[in-house]
Amino acid sequence: MDNWSAMFEEVRCIVRQGLPLSESLFQVIEFANSNPALCDEPEYWRQVKSHEFRPAFDTMIGWGKAGLVQIAPSKGWEFLLLDLGDCPETFRLYSPGGQKLMSDLRLRVLLSQKLVIEAGAFEECFATTPENSFNLLFRNAQDFADHHVSELNDDILDWTGDTEDADDHGNNGCLLWLLLGSLALLSPFNDSDYCRQTLQGRDKLYLLSGFESLFTHLATVTAAGLVYEEV
**What value does the mean pLDDT take over residues 5-34?**
97
Q: How many percent of the chain have pLDDT more than 70?
A: 96
| Mode of pairing for the β-strands spanning 77-83 and 214-222 | unpaired
pLDDT digits (tens, 9 = 90+) for 91-100: 999 999 999 9
Task: Report residue 129's pLDDT band, with 50, 70 and 90 as the boundaries.
Answer: confident
pLDDT digits (tens, 9 = 90+) for 67-107: 999 999 999 999 999 999 988 999 999 999 999 999 999 99
Task: Report residue 231's pLDDT band, with 50, 70 and 90 as the boundaries.
Answer: very low
User: What's this model's pTM, rounded to 2 decimal places?
Assistant: 0.95
Task: Report residue 227's pLDDT band, with 50, 70 and 90 as the boundaries.
Answer: very high
Which pLDDT value is given to residue 2? 75
Per-residue pLDDT at 22 exceeds 60? yes
**What value does the mean pLDDT take over residues 183-207?**
96
| Rounded Cα–Cα distance for residues 39 and 186 (Å) | 25
Q: What is the mean pLDDT of the chain?
A: 94
Amino acid letter for position 140: N
Cα 206 to its chain centre, rounded Å, is 11
Residue 174 sits in which domain range?
2-227
pLDDT digits (tens, 9 = 90+) for 139-179: 999 999 999 999 999 999 998 865 556 688 899 999 999 99
| Rounded Cα–Cα distance for residues 82 and 39 (Å) | 23
Q: Considering its fold, how many domains does the chain have in total?
A: 1
Q: Print burial letters for 50-67: b (CB count within 10 Å at least 16), e (below 16).
A: eeebeebbebbbebbbeb
171: phi then psi, degrees, rounded to nearest 5: -60, -35
Per-residue pLDDT at 3 exceeds 90? no
Strand extents, DSSP E, 13-132: 77-83, 90-95, 117-118
